[in-house]
Amino acid sequence: MDTNRFVVISGCSSGGKSTLLVELGRRGYATVEEPGRRIVKEEMLGTGLALPWVDAIAFARRAVALSLADHTTARDESGWVFFDRGLIDAAAALQHLTGKPALATLVPADCYHPRVFLAPPWPEIYVADTERRHGLGVAIAEYQRLLSVYPSLGYRVTILPKTSAPERAEFVLHSLAE
């Protein structure tokens, strides 16, 4: 399986990741929507027991399961596949919440392209909403964890510039072509 074409766009909540993925999708690339947003939408229509503000551990476990399923489904795509977060983010959250080694047990080696793109905190565009209820401080703390987690697993982190989605897409595509 060639996971070298699976590219993670991660980083700070409300840092423009999803907007970048929309732009990459508009250009014809396969994209995978953030697991957390999908889980929150589903939970808000159902029991709501696995919402991050109700049961963060249940939410993280669902994010791991959904990320694993996304990874399997993405194998059917050709060319670059861009993930809005993914398995490493979900496993890192679960590990942070439980103190148990989720990264070592749940994340296979080299499951994504070796270069990972992180959206930095961008207070000027940060927005909380019905699906993202945490504040900027919580988002920055998560970003700081991810800045450590990805390199600890052997990934090269590239920080996205604070520019428009088309400019960010060009930056990502150019970086991957190097």
Summarised one tens digit per residue, pLDDT across range 151-172 is 999 999 999 999 999 999 999 9
> Which domains does the chain possess?
3-177 (3.40.50.300)
Q: Indicate whether 146 pLDDT > 80.
A: yes
- Structural element, H or E, at residue 82: strand 81-84
Helices (H), 48-164: 56-74, 87-98, 102-106, 136-152
pLDDT-above-90 percentage for the chain: 58
Average pLDDT over residues 126-149: 76
pTM: 0.91
Angle (CA) 177-160-77 rounded to 5° is 50
pLDDT the model gives residue 136: 66
